[in-house]
Amino acid sequence: MTGNATFRHDNTALLAVTSVEAPVVVSSAEFDERLAPSLKRLRLSKRLLERVAGVTERRWWSPGTDFDDAAIEAGAKAMAEAGIEPGEVGLLINTSVTRRNLEPSVAVKIHHSLGLPSSAMNFDLANACLGFVNGMTLAANMIDSGQIKYALIVAGEDAQQTQEATFRRLNREDSTRQDFLSEFATLTLGSGAAAAVLGPADQHPGSHRILGGVSRAGTEHHELCVGGIDGMYTDTKGLLDGGLDLVVTAWHEAQADGWAWDSMDRYVTHQVSNSYTNAIIKAVDLEREKVPITFPHWGNVGPASLPMTLAQEGASLRSGDRVLCLGVGSGLNTSMMEIAW
């Protein structure tokens, strides 16, 4: 056994999962126009984002809307859908990658704006694109232990500032083809928000049971994708290869520990690109029609990506369906979580 052991939850349910789409649609064709001088000088063809990544468009927030405002909206929506009052929440975890300052946490504004009680613990959990799933696992452990009754997990992402800075760098006269390739993944990012409410399953008949899953770390790959407010630099091939190895290892070790994930009703993966999705499907032999795809229109919305996709799929899932949430975050880390819908 390598890395962390698999985990199981006894009495935790997903009561609601919601999303908020950013309203401003920005096409990859528009990105091509913004980068036209660089593409011409470096002899790179247009439509790379569509042809290589499969991202046709992504979304930005309207002027005056901040990422944490969107997380607040998603959180309020999730509590309303779950039928939970703010005063009942014992834990708030913000999993956003986006932040405007190092301290205080993003969580404090969300806690205050949602009117959560002083007794509700609140903090940020940062683990790249895997943060939301990690937050659900942590919350489930605390619910199972009886420490809290209800948890609210949120994520709000804003890709615009980072992408604007990337445009400026790539359009400089001294930018190179390697610069373009190392920042290509930044152009696939998108903006959006999501939230989920977790609570005790025995008090919510008919809710979606969180059964457990597996988590694995491959931190020897910690330099393959490094991001900041002004940019993200990625070894795309190295990230894909390392991520696939980690996913396959975690998958097989989970099977050996009693998890049977080869016949799920839905596989909700973190949304990155065509190549990533196709590679995951092939590596663990998933049924393609059971893997919903949202990245062509939302881009990679970081930790909000997977719960946004899950929220979209909720309308077509039936009671008793088995759902596997599967994500990889730069670092590298992977986590898989089974939900009995």
User: For residue 297, is it within any domain?
Assistant: yes
What would the pLDDT profile of 113-172 be if each residue is shown by its tens digit? 999 999 999 999 999 999 999 999 999 999 999 999 999 999 999 999 999 999 999 999
pLDDT tens string 250-274: 999 999 999 999 999 999 999 999 9
CATH code where residue 268 lies: 3.40.47.10
Residue 73: inside a domain: no
> Residue 4 pLDDT more than 90?
no
183-192 mean pLDDT: 96
Residue of 73, 129, 253, 313 with catalytic role: 129
For residue 263, what is the DSSP state?
T
Work out how many domains the chain is built from and give that number: 1
Closest to 12 in 3D by CA, of 340, 315, 266: 340
In this structure, what token pair is assigned to residue 108? Answer: 């404090």
**β-bridge pairing 150-157 and 89-94:** parallel
Q: Are 73 and 20 in contact (CB under 8 A)?
A: yes
- Residue 11 contacts residue 204 (beta carbons within 8 Å): no
* 27 assigned to some structural domain: no
Is residue 5 in some structural domain? no
Nearest one of 91, 332, 325, 341 to 214, comparing CA atoms:
325
Element (H, E) at 167: helix 160-170
228 in any annotated domain? yes
The yes-or-no answer on residue 129 being catalytic is: yes
Crossing angle (nearest 10°) for helices 236-256 and 274-283: 30
Closest CA to 41 of 162, 235, 179: 179
Q: In whole angstroms, what is the distance from residue 110 CA to residue 327 CA?
A: 25
Which domain covers residue 297, as residue numbers?
207-340
Residue 311 lies in a domain: yes
Euclidean distance between CA atoms 38 and 170, whole angstroms: 6
If you average pLDDT over residues 166-191, what whole number do you get? Answer: 96
Q: Is residue 274 part of a domain?
A: yes
Q: Phi/psi at 97 (nearest 5 deg)?
A: -75, -40
